[in-house]
Amino acid sequence: MSKKFVKKWEPSADRGGITESLYPSDPLKPKLNRAIRKVEVQAQKLKNVAEELAQRDRRLFAKLVEAYGNHEDDRAKMLASEIAEIRKNQKFMVNSGIALEQVLLRLKTVSEVGDVISSLTPAIEVLSEIKSGLAGVMPNTERELEEAGNLLNDIVAEASQTAGLTLGFEATSIDAKKILEEAAAVAEQRMQEKLPPLPSETSNVGWTVTQAGGKEKTEKA
């Protein structure tokens, strides 16, 4: 680790006077820790929202089963459509939460100048993607992720300038894409494991209610 980077990374007791004039900005590590705290809080918020949506899904699915059992075709179609929309939103929340967990793993292992470039730049792209998806839906989370991204951008810019490094944007974009793709795959698996399948939108009421292990379930007639 270069001496210049060490001075920029950790708070120093001798900061001030001439030293402070040479290094006027805040140390990078405390700035990174602030970004980490912001991301942690928002990851938990996304997890909470996903759980609320899952609970709503379960309630509506029970009503869907009841509607099919009573041969209430129109009501069943309306409920199935509503559940499908909830699941789309839930999948996004789960996906985004997993992606933020991946970002946090990267941020918490940064200790060298090379880590700053290789770990933070794809993390910034991931935060930007998630922030865009939350636009107008969760404005507070959107704002907090933007602030976290700004902190990380500042760290990367200062670390790059200090170490005289250049950013490999193509490589970092590939890393960011990998993070998002891995998160999407895990989210898809979790959704499939937790949620019962919906009747296809094209099917009519060719579904009946039966008893299985003491619980009602829908199945094709």
pLDDT at 3: 59
Rounded Cα distance between 173 and 52, Å, is 32
Long-range contacts of 64-71 (CB under 8 A, 24+ apart): 64/198, 64/218, 65/209, 65/216, 65/217, 65/218, 66/209, 68/205, 68/207, 68/208, 68/209, 68/218, 69/208, 69/209, 69/216, 71/205
Q: Which residues, at least 6 apart from 125, have a Cβ–Cβ distance to it below 8 Å?
A: 172, 173, 176
Which two three-digit tokens encode residue 45?
């918020």
Distance of CA 56 to the CA centre of its chain: 21
Of all residues in the chain, what percent are helix, strand and coil, respectively (each to 5)?
A: 75, 5, 20
Query: What is the pLDDT at residue 87?
Result: 93
Examine residue 11 and state whether it is found in any structural domain, yes or no: no
Q: Is 1 part of a structural domain of the chain? A: no
Written as six digits, the tokens of 17 are 């006077």
pLDDT tens across the length of the chain (221 residues): 455 656 666 666 555 544 444 444 568 888 899 999 999 999 999 999 999 999 999 999 999 999 989 999 999 999 999 999 999 999 999 999 999 999 999 898 886 666 777 788 889 999 999 999 998 889 999 999 999 999 999 988 887 776 555 555 555 677 888 888 888 898 888 888 888 887 654 344 444 444 333 444 445 44
Query: Is 175 a domain residue?
Result: yes
Domain contains 179: yes
CA end-to-end span of the chain: 68
**82, part of any domain:** yes
For the chain, the domain total comes to 1
Q: In which domain, by residue range, is 57 found?
A: 33-200
The model's pTM: 0.75
Q: Which residue in 170, 123, 115, 121 sits closest to 145, CA to CA?
A: 123
In a domain, residue 219? The reply is no
The answer to whether residue 60 is domain-embedded is yes
Domain-located, residue 220: no
Which pLDDT score, from 0 to 100, does residue 213 have?
39
Asked if 59 and 200 count as a contact pair (C-beta separation under 8 A), the reply is no
